[in-house]
Amino acid sequence: MYSKFNSRCMKLNFRKQYHNACVLMMTLLFFSIQIAHAQQQAYIPDPDPLVQQRLADWQDMKFGLLMHWGPYSQWGVVESWSICPEDLSWASGARLQRSNGADYAQYRKDYEALQKTFNPINFDPAKWAEAAAFAGMRYVVFTTKHHDGFCMFDTRTTDYKITDDKTPYHTQPNADVTRAIFDAFRKKNFWIGAYFSKPDWHADGYWWNRFPPADRNPNYAIDKHPEQWQKYVQHTHEQINELTSNYGKLDILWLDGGWVAKKTSDELKAEMQAEYEGSRWARNPQSQDINMPLLVKNARQKQPGLIVVDRAVPGVYQNYLTPEQHIPDEGLPYPWETCMTMSRSWSYTPNDVYKPTNELVEKLVDIVSKGGNYLLNIGPDDKGQWNDTAYSRLRDIGNWMAVNQSAIYGTKMYAHFAQGDSIRFTQSKDGKTRYVYLFNYAKGSLHLADIKLQKTDAVRLLGYEKALIWKDEANGVAIQLPEAGMNASQHVWVLQIRSL
Ligand code: GLC
């Protein structure tokens, strides 16, 4: 009896424990799914309806211009990075210059002294705007301040700026180059974007002069010196206030330096662990909270509907995503833009190599077929000039656009974006027109799988007069490409399929 009772109790106990273990496992599973979900949630839509409207308009623009320009352009080194005390093989400027014998402290002094010789006397933003407009670009993003902290606009917060007496160019009527660029591009109906680096390696609140900088991050413990950090937060808010108050209509605030972000202690722990495992030295990650809610609230008070791009910081202030030097394999289910250099580097370097027009047009088409925008970068030189090749590329792209632009603007993703590596698809917004982009043109029969045509559909090759002949095939359609069609365009040929 006793043992029966006992064994029953044990059974019950076991069941209870089993039940508890299951509940625990389910709870853990639930939370880990939640965490994974939160981590995967790369995009969080902004609840402001005006921002949503502006984003939809921005997605129609497809093609924009990015420019990296500053006193560093005189040395032709990678923008800003050569003063960052990390061993970065790609910041070759640092290696070159420093291997010339200069120690770090001297190197940084020399770098900052570039302000005293920066005199881009051939700066003519109207010429840039003209060339970019011809190419079909519709918005511009300009480095108002890069990580080195040099302001290419007129600010009251620092004398490390283009309009200061120490900068030779300050006497010129266009000394406030940010204003001149924004005005010139606005005249061509561009949307205006301010690239702004959150990290500022000149500001005492970020790299405090009391200590040597250690890496790209603040060089002191923020929680020990909150007043020092507040100086930097204040400095950043003031500069954004100037840019959003004094420079006319601003459409995009493009914030770079995603490591400046608020972090929870769990995120910091995970980062620390990753650093420790992944590198020879572990740093102490810190929450770099610059009060984004207030920053954005103030900015949007002056610029209603402002698109804010807090790059690489998942959350509500990253209104679109910005894959860098890279095109995603597939379309992304949120607004995005690939930023990419037209040559090899972001800022001017001597003897830079420019991508051929073919590649640029194909990339534009590839991006558009995946629902994104293409932000193409050109780096002006120390005199304020673009390389001739940049102009000729923009001219070639413009000539292509003159024939094919109806297949770029006002399009959206099609059911599938590609057939193999060299055919892309989109459709018009009303879905009545489909576009097929051919990266190669060969006369004869072109088989398009998964495309069905109605009898009344008309197929044209943009830039070619006559309608094309087509016929249904098992699993798709065959379109006859005439020999003369070869001359309809260059780089990429576009078929337009219209339904009545
Ligand atoms: C990279 C570069 C940075 C540049 C940015 C533009 O992150 O390091 O200097 O401003 O690309 O997207």
Q: Which domains does the chain have, with CATH numbers?
A: 1-39 (no CATH), 45-407 (3.20.20.80), 411-498 (2.60.40.1180)
pLDDT at 234 over 60: yes
In angstroms, the CA 103 to CA 253 distance is 36
State the distance from the centre of ligand 1 to the C-alpha of 314, rounded, in angstroms: 18
State the distance from the centre of ligand 1 to the C-alpha of 493, rounded, in angstroms: 33
Question: Position 491: which residue type?
Answer: H
* DSSP-assigned states of every residue in 362-421: HHHHHHHHTT-EEEEEE---TTS---HHHHHHHHHHHHHHHHHGGGTTTEEEEEEEESSS
Stated as kind and residue range, the H or E segment containing 433 is: strand 433-438
What pairing do the DSSP bridges indicate for beta strands 373-378 and 476-481?
Answer: unpaired
Residue 243, both tokens: 């840019």
Please, what is the end-to-end C-alpha distance for the chain in angstroms? 87
State the distance from the centre of ligand 1 to the C-alpha of 324, rounded, in angstroms: 8
Stated as kind and residue range, the H or E segment containing 52 is: helix 49-59
Mean pLDDT of 162-169: 98
> Cα dihedral sign for 472, 474, 476, 478?
negative
Question: Position 1: which residue type?
Answer: M
Q: Helix, strand, coil proportions of the chain in percent (round to 5)?
A: 40, 20, 45
Instruction: Output the pTM of the full model.
Output: 0.91
DSSP code, position 188: T
Index of the ligand 1 atom closest to the CA of residue 195: 10
Residue 180, both tokens: 């001149």
Count CA within 13 A, CB hemisphere, residue 64: 30
Instruction: Tell me the pLDDT band of 274, cut-offs 50, 70 and 90.
Output: confident
Would you state the pLDDT for residue 88?
78
Q: Which of 82, 346, 347 to mutate to test the pocket of ligand 1 (most atoms within 8 A of CB)?
A: 346
Pocket flag, ligand 1, residue 457 (CB < 6 Å):
no
pLDDT at 98 over 70: no
Residue 459 to residues 134, 444, 455, 468, 500: CA-CA distances in angstroms?
A: 28, 15, 11, 5, 11
> Over the range 88-124, which residues count as b (16 or more CB within 10 Å of their CB) and which as e?
eeebebbeebeeeeeeeeebbeebbebbeebbbeebb
26-73 pLDDT tens trace: 444 444 444 344 444 589 999 999 999 999 999 999 999 999 999 999
Would you state the pLDDT for residue 19?
53
Pocket flag, ligand 1, residue 79 (CB < 6 Å):
yes
Residue whose CA is at the smallest distance from ligand 1 atom 9: 79
φ/ψ of 112, rounded to 5, equals -70, -25
State the distance from the centre of ligand 1 to the C-alpha of 307, rounded, in angstroms: 19
Residue 341, both tokens: 């250099």
Helix/strand/coil for 309: strand
> Over the range 388-420, which residues count as b (16 or more CB within 10 Å of their CB) and which as e?
ebbbebbebbbbbbebbbebbeebbbbeebbbe
366-397 pLDDT tens trace: 999 999 999 999 999 999 999 999 999 999 99
State the distance from the centre of ligand 1 to the C-alpha of 231, rounded, in angstroms: 25
Index of the ligand 1 atom closest to the CA of residue 79: 9
Where on the phi/psi map is residue 312: left (φ > 0), alpha (ψ -120 to 50), or beta?
Answer: left
Index of the ligand 1 atom closest to the CA of residue 143: 10
393-425 pLDDT tens trace: 999 999 999 999 999 999 999 999 999 999 999
Nearest Cα to Cα of residue 157 among 115, 110, 205, 120: 205
